[in-house]
Amino acid sequence: MKDHSAKLTVLKILSDGSFHSGESLGSVLGISRAAVSKHIKGIQLWGVDIFRVQGKGYQLAQPLCMLDVERIQQEVTNPVELHPIIDSTNQYLLDRTESLESGTVCLAEYQAQGRGRRGRKWVSPFGANLYLSMYWRLDAGMAAAMGLSLVVGVAIVEALEGLGIEGVKLKWPNDVYYQDKKLAGILVEMSGQAGGAANIVAGMGMNIAMKDRDSEVDQPWVTLNEVMADDHIIDRNQLSIAFIHAWQQALRNYEQVGMQGFVKRWNSVDNFINRPVKLIMGQKTVTGISRGIDDHGGIVLETNQGMETYIGGEISLRNNE
115 in a labelled binding site? yes
Binding mask 251-290 for ligand BTN (x = CB under 6 A): ----------------------------------------
Binding mask 167-186 for ligand ATP (x = CB under 6 A): -------xx------x--x-
The answer for residues whose C-beta is within 8 angstroms of residue 79's C-beta and 6 or more apart is 100, 101, 103, 104, 105
Long-range contacts of 28-37, Cβ-Cβ distance < 8 Å, separation of 24 or more: 31/6, 36/10
Among 4, 7, 20, 117, binds ligand BTN (CB under 6 A): 117
CB-CB neighbours of 234 under 10 Å: 19
Can residue 218 be called a binding residue for ligand ATP (CB under 6 A)?
Answer: yes
2 in a labelled binding site? no
How remote is the C-alpha of 194 from its chain's centroid? 26
CB of 116 or CB of 276, closer to ligand ATP: 116
Can residue 7 be called a binding residue for ligand ATP (CB under 6 A)?
Answer: no
Binding mask 186-215 for ligand BTN (x = CB under 6 A): xx---------------xxx----------
Can residue 81 be called a binding residue for ligand BTN (CB under 6 A)?
Answer: no
CB of 295 to ligand BTN, least distance (A): 24
Query: Which of ligand ATP, ligand BTN, none has residue 133 at its interface (CB below 5 to 8 Å by kind)?
Result: ligand BTN
Residue nearest to ligand ATP (CB): 116
Burial class, 3, CB count within 10 angstroms (exposed 0-12 / middle 13-18 / buried 19+): exposed
**Binding piece for ligand BTN, criterion CB under 6 A, among 52-60, 75-83, 114-122, 293-301:** 114-122
Q: How far apart are CA 283 and CA 133, in angstroms?
A: 32
Q: How far apart are CA 228 and CA 242, in angstroms?
A: 16
CB of 86 to ligand BTN, least distance (A): 8
**Binding piece for ligand ATP, criterion CB under 6 A, among 92-100, 110-118, 228-236, 261-269:** 110-118
Peptide bond into 84 cis (omega under 30): no
Q: How far apart are CA 35 and CA 12, in angstroms?
A: 17
Can residue 214 be called a binding residue for ligand ATP (CB under 6 A)?
Answer: no
Query: Which of ligand BTN, ligand ATP, none has residue 4 at its interface (CB below 5 to 8 Å by kind)?
Result: none
Q: How far apart are CA 189 and CA 118, in angstroms?
A: 11
Helix%, strand%, coil% for the chain, nearest 5: 35, 30, 35
CB of 243 or CB of 254, closer to ligand BTN: 243
Q: How far apart are CA 83 and CA 60, in angstroms?
A: 21
Short-list 302, 304, 299, CA closest to 316: 299
| DSSP state letters, 244-307 | HHHHHHHHHHHHHH-THHHHHHHHHTBTTTTSEEEEEETTEEEEEEEEEE-TTSPEEEEETTEE
Interface residues toward ligand ATP, by CB under 6 A:
116-118, 120-123, 174-175, 182, 185, 205, 207, 217-219, 221, 316-317
Interface residues toward ligand BTN, by CB under 6 A:
88-90, 111, 114-117, 122, 131, 133, 174-175, 185-187, 203-205
State the binding site for biotin: 88-90, 111, 115-117, 182
